Amino acid sequence: MFSLQGKAVVVTGGGRGIGRAIADAMARCGAAVVITGRSSETLDAAAAQLRESGAEVLALAADITRAKDIDRIVAETLARFGRIDGWVNNAGSADPDDVGPLLSIREDQWDRVVDLNLKWTFFAAQAAARAMRDGGGSIVNISSRSASYPNPGTGHYGAAKAGVENLTRTMAAEWGHLKIRVNAVAPGVVMTEELAKTLNTESRIRRQAETVPMQRIGRPDDIGPLCAFLVSDEASWTTGAVIPVNGGSIVPLGYLSYLHRVNRDIG
């Protein structure tokens, strides 16, 4: 029903994982797509595939944790397409070396995780909004189910995503009069190449799926279409929303495992 024909959309971290599927959904709806990330090789491969489907694609190697790189994404997108209608803040993660129980988290681990997922999501959104100031636009922040629940082992990541959701609501409130909409999408566990490195056995996958009413874990393609809708004109009265996409799951497996372990240890 909706179309993104004539729109230009930036997807940070658009070269792989969920971002890749978001870029694909935007392209399938007719948008010109800008994909960014640190690895040129990954971006070039993704761009080549997106172009095969007829999409106009710009691949920009950029580190989202550098202000100059964010400015360059804006400048090069405007130079190529003359507009920015949509911006998806998807780049984010928590490196396995930077996570652990809260009692042992170091300041440098905290900074890397919270800076990438919260600080730079904000400054990227600010840069996007400044570029959209004259014509309006739509910003989509990729949060996580982790924002809403305890996250034993990745507490600072959950806190950063909770911050993203709160900022999403404030940005929506402050920028509505500029016709800039800001929404967040909060996925549950979604299988990506990266996650497959740890969620790598049938039994682990099954245990995850057992916490999901829809009886499976997510696929990157589960996330893209909603992001495309949020960028479309049909979503023009949707702003400040945080939309879960998680197969109905509200109990993270990590939380359950943690409780079972503690109960076993003290019992």
Ligand X SMILES: NC(=O)c1ccc[n+]([C@@H]2O[C@H](COP(=O)([O-])OP(=O)(O)OC[C@H]3O[C@@H](n4cnc5c(N)ncnc54)[C@H](OP(=O)(O)O)[C@@H]3O)[C@@H](O)[C@H]2O)c1
Q: Going residue by residue from 19 to 48, which x/- string records binding to ligand X, judged by CB under 6 A? A: x-----------------xxx--x------
Q: Which residues of 172-196 are buried (b: 16+ CB within 10 A; e: fewer)?
A: beebeeeebbbbbbbbbbbbbeebe
Q: Is 192 in the site for ligand X (CB under 6 A)?
A: yes
16 C-beta neighbours (distance < 10 Å), count: 20
Q: Is 151 in the site for ligand X (CB under 6 A)?
A: no
Q: Is 92 in the site for ligand X (CB under 6 A)?
A: yes
Give the whole-angstrom CA distance, residue 44 versus residue 58.
9
Token duo for residue 203 = 């039994």
Q: Which of 77, 138, 144, 249: binder of ligand X (CB under 6 A)? A: 144
Number of residues that bind ligand X (CB under 6 A): 27
Catalytic status, residue 255: no
Could you tell me the smallest distance in angstroms from the CB atom of residue 60 to ligand X? 10
* Edge-to-edge strands, sheet with 8-12: 57-61, 32-37, 8-12, 86-89, 137-142, 180-187, 242-245
Q: Is 93 in the site for ligand X (CB under 6 A)?
A: yes
Give the whole-angstrom CA distance, residue 46 versus residue 35.
9
Interacting residues toward ligand X by CB under 6 A: 12-13, 15-19, 37-39, 42, 63-65, 90-93, 116, 142, 144, 187, 189-190, 192, 194-195
- Which of the residues are catalytic? 157
